[in-house]
Amino acid sequence: MKKVIIIPARLDSSRLPKKVLLDLKGKTVIQRVYEQCLKVKNVDGVYIATDSIEIKEVCETFTDKVIITKSTHQSGTDRIGEAVSAIDCDIVINVQGDEPFIEPSLIEALVNSFSNSDISMSSAMSKINNIKDLQNTNVVKVVTDLHNNALFFSRSLIPFPRDVKEISIAKEVLEKCLFYRHIGIYGYRKDFLLKFVNMEQSYLEKVEKLEQLRALENGFKIKMIEANSSLIGIDTREDYEEALKKY
């Protein structure tokens, strides 16, 4: 099987404009992501997909694997759907362009998940260990079945511990229940991805603004891989300042 990584990158971001071009100690965020992906074993190529000429010109200073896509895409998945249509491959890993600390081992785990022929789509999660993340609606939560297939994703607290009187009491909540945050990295079989991007947006997807719910609502499974730690994605100025401290 041929396996590729595609990094979708757009210029506009409502919370932090041009975030993928921000400098992280001499290299842009998108270059840091790209270089982490190059460390992944057993993949046949790493590509960047963007509709921005500015991003394209910056990326061409460190790679020639840049694909220009339409500007009308509503999500990164739609963007990689267009990009991958012209690439000879079987497995596609979608790595977000604002995750400079993505662990190569986690990407490899997603690639390896497709050794099971029943899996069409996979993603990742990590344990939540603090109340702040539980209460943060920007931290997407996920619950799974006994086989680590996703049951639901939500910006709300799931599962909800009915017998805990005060959700704000971190020790009690975290001792009684397990909570997982969703990490926005995805793996797809190419044939499934091309079907997925042509499905209509589903009801729950529109309500939660979480496109992975489209797969669940259409009856498909998402295999969840547990990561050892949460990643620092760059969505806000505060995230960027935290990222700078790590370099």
Contacts of 129 (CB under 8 A, 6+ apart): 174
The tens digit of pLDDT for each residue in 99-110 reads 999 999 999 999
Q: List phi, psi (to 5°) of 186.
A: -130, 150
- Residue 49, SS3 per DSSP: strand
Q: Residue 134: its pLDDT value, please?
A: 87
Count how many residues are written for the chain: 247
Q: Residue 233: its pLDDT value, please?
A: 84
> 119-137: b or e for each residue (b if 16 or more CB lie within 10 Å)?
bbbbbbbbebeebebbeee
Q: List phi, psi (to 5°) of 188.
A: -140, 150
Pairing of strands 141-144, 121-127: unpaired
Q: Residue 166: its pLDDT value, please?
A: 63
| Intervals of the chain under pLDDT 70 | 164-171
Q: Give Cα separations from 99 to 33, 36, 144, 239, 245 (angstroms).
A: 6, 9, 24, 11, 15
Give the H or E element holding residue 188. Answer: strand 180-189
* Cβ atoms of residues 225 and 109 within 8 Å: yes
Q: Residue 170: its pLDDT value, please?
A: 57
* Cβ atoms of residues 5 and 47 within 8 Å: yes
